[in-house]
Amino acid sequence: MRLYNTLTRKVEKVKPLQQPKVTVYTCGPTVYDYAHIGHWFNYVRMDTLIRVLKANQLQPEWVVNITDVGHLVSDADEGEDKLEKGAKREGKTAWEIAKFYTNDFLEGMKLLNISHPDNMPRATEHITEQIELIKRLDKKGYTYIIDDGVYYDTSKFEAYSDFAQLDLEEQQAVMRVARNPQKRQPADFALWKFSPKDAKRDMEWDSPWGKGFPGWHIECSAMSMKYLGPTIDIHSGGIDHVPVHHTNEIAQSEAATGQRFANYWLHSNHVMVEGQKISKSLGNSIRLKEIIDKGFSPEVVRLHILESHYRSQSQFSWSSLEASKNRLQDLRALASLRWQPRKVSHDYGTGALEDVPAELLNIMSEDLNTPQALAFLSRVSTQLLAVHIEGDMVDHFEAMIRGIDDLLGLKLSDIKDISEEQKKLIGKRDEAREKQDWEQSDKIRDELASQGVGLQDHPHGVIWFPL
C-alpha cells in the first residue's frame, strides 16, 4: 500500500516498523463546540485509512485524542482557552462542556460508521505525562520561562522549518506585529501556560513551574508516545495542522527523544462549503445533525465524503449531496439484487464477484483513491444489473457486498429484503405497466416510496431497494 507522505512530499510504500502492526495517531477534536462537516471529512478519511490497512492484512493500532484543555483561540498561544470560552458561552463549567461535546462527537462517529479507535485519550487525563515531557525538554535546554508560561525555544531545534518548509524570516516579519514581545522567536510556542492571576480557571493543575495548564501541542506528543511509542508509523490530521501544530509536535517530540517522531504524515485537505471556507462568522459550519434533519442519511454523507480524494480541496454543497443520495440508491439497488429475479441472466462468474473487493482494495491502496474506487464500483453495478444472482452465486455475492462494506463503510450488508405484500405490489405495477396504465403504475410507485421502497426500471426488469 502507498500513501502520500507530507514528510517527503512523495507517494511512498508503507513499511510499518513492526509489521503487521501499524501505529496510527490522529489529532482529534477540540471538544468545545459541535464538529462541523469539515471535521467529518477528516475523520471519515482517516477511518478509510484504517479500513484499507486492515484489508491489507495489517493490524492498525489507532489512537485519536480528545483535546479538552489548552487549545487556545489563536495559534500564536494567545487568546482564551477554547474550552473556557465554550463554558462562558453556555454558562457551564469547562468540564461540563468537554463532556457534552465529547459525547456528541462520539455519537457522530457512530452515525458515520467510523471505526472505533483503539484508544481515545483525553488531554486532561494525561497532565502528568505532559509535565514529564516538558521536564525532559527543560533538562535538555529547549525551554524558557516568560510571564505567561513555559515556552519552547524553536531556534534550538535546527530542523524546525523543514517539515512545513516554513520561511521563518517571512514568518518573523508577519508575526512581529502581534507577537508576545517576551517570546524569543515568533514561532516559539507554549508548553505550559500559567493560570491568570486575576481569574480562576475551571481547569488548572500544579506543576514545577506554577499553577496552570498544558499547551495544546504537547498533549499529542505525550499521548502518542505513551500509547504508541517514541516513533510511530503514521500521524495524521487536517492539512491546516502542518505549519504550526504538527511542526511543533515534531520539534518537541524529536528534541525530547532524539528519534524520528512519525515515519509517515498524512493530511486531509480543506473542505469548502458552497465555495467558501468554513468559518463561524460565515455561518457555514454545518453540523451533521443539520444534514440528517434535511433528509440525508449518514451513509449519504459518508459517500459524499468518499467522492473526493483526501488530498484535493473538496467541496460540500447541498446539490452535490443530492447527487450522492442518488449514487447511494444505485449502490443499494446493487446490494438488493440478491433477492430479485432478473428476466435475462448474463454470465458473471463467481470468481469475478470475488475480484470486486480485491480490485477495490487495489485502487484504494494507491494513496486512498476513493473517487476511482467509486467509479469502478459504478461500472461493476452496471454490469451486474443484468445478472440473475442465484444458487451458489448468492454466497459469493454476499461476500462481495461485505468486502465492499469493509472498505467503504456504507452498510450495504444491512439492507433487508422487502415484505411479500410489497413484492405483490411490485407485481401489480408490472401488470399496470404492461397495460400501459401509467396512472396506476405511478400510484403504486408512490405507495411503495411511502413505505421506504425505491424502484428502478431497467431493460432487464424493475429493481427494488430500500430507500
Give the per-residue SS3 of 407-447.
HHCCCHHHCCCCCHHHHHHHHHHHHHHHCCCHHHHHHHHHH
Count residues near Zn ion (CB under 5 A).
2
CA atoms within 13 Å, Cβ hemisphere of 159: 15
- Residue 150 binds Zn ion (CB under 5 A): no
Nearer to Zn ion (CB atom), residue 52 or residue 220: 220
Quickly list DSSP for 99-154.
HHHHHHHHHHHHHTTPPPPSB--BGGGGHHHHHHHHHHHHHTT-EEEETTEEEE-G
Residues 171, 447: Cα–Cα separation, whole Å: 63
Residue 275 beta carbon to Zn ion: minimum distance, rounded to whole angstroms? 29
3-class secondary-structure state, position 9: coil
**CB within 8 A of 432, min separation 6: which ones?**
438, 440, 441, 444
- Residue 27 binds Zn ion (CB under 5 A): yes
Residue 382 beta carbon to Zn ion: minimum distance, rounded to whole angstroms? 43
- Residue 112 binds Zn ion (CB under 5 A): no
Nearer to Zn ion (CB atom), residue 48 or residue 65: 65
Nearer to Zn ion (CB atom), residue 247 or residue 441: 247
Residue 249 beta carbon to Zn ion: minimum distance, rounded to whole angstroms? 6
- Residue 66 binds Zn ion (CB under 5 A): no
Nearer to Zn ion (CB atom), residue 220 or residue 432: 220
Interface segment toward Zn ion; rule CB under 5 A; list 9-17, 218-226, 268-276, 385-393? 218-226
Residues 1, 465: Cα–Cα separation, whole Å: 35
- Residue 220 binds Zn ion (CB under 5 A): yes
Nearer to Zn ion (CB atom), residue 25 or residue 465: 25
Nearest residue to 6 via CA among 126, 124, 163: 163
Residue 27 beta carbon to Zn ion: minimum distance, rounded to whole angstroms? 3
Nearer to Zn ion (CB atom), residue 27 or residue 418: 27
Interface segment toward Zn ion; rule CB under 5 A; list 24-32, 134-142, 178-186, 340-348? 24-32
Contact at 8 Å (CB) between 192 and 70? no
Nearer to Zn ion (CB atom), residue 48 or residue 253: 253
Residue 102 beta carbon to Zn ion: minimum distance, rounded to whole angstroms? 16
Residue 220 beta carbon to Zn ion: minimum distance, rounded to whole angstroms? 3
Contact at 8 Å (CB) between 5 and 210? no
**CB within 8 A of 29, min separation 6: which ones?**
35, 39, 66, 67, 101, 102, 105
Residue 250 beta carbon to Zn ion: minimum distance, rounded to whole angstroms? 11
Interface segment toward Zn ion; rule CB under 5 A; list 149-157, 212-220, 313-321, 388-396? 212-220
Q: For residue 242, what are the CA distances in angstroms to 7, 71, 163, 202, 239? A: 10, 16, 8, 30, 6
Question: Nine-digit cell at 466?
Answer: 430500500
Nearer to Zn ion (CB atom), residue 220 or residue 291: 220
Residue 245 beta carbon to Zn ion: minimum distance, rounded to whole angstroms? 5
Q: Which residues bind Zn ion (CB under 5 A)?
A: 27, 220
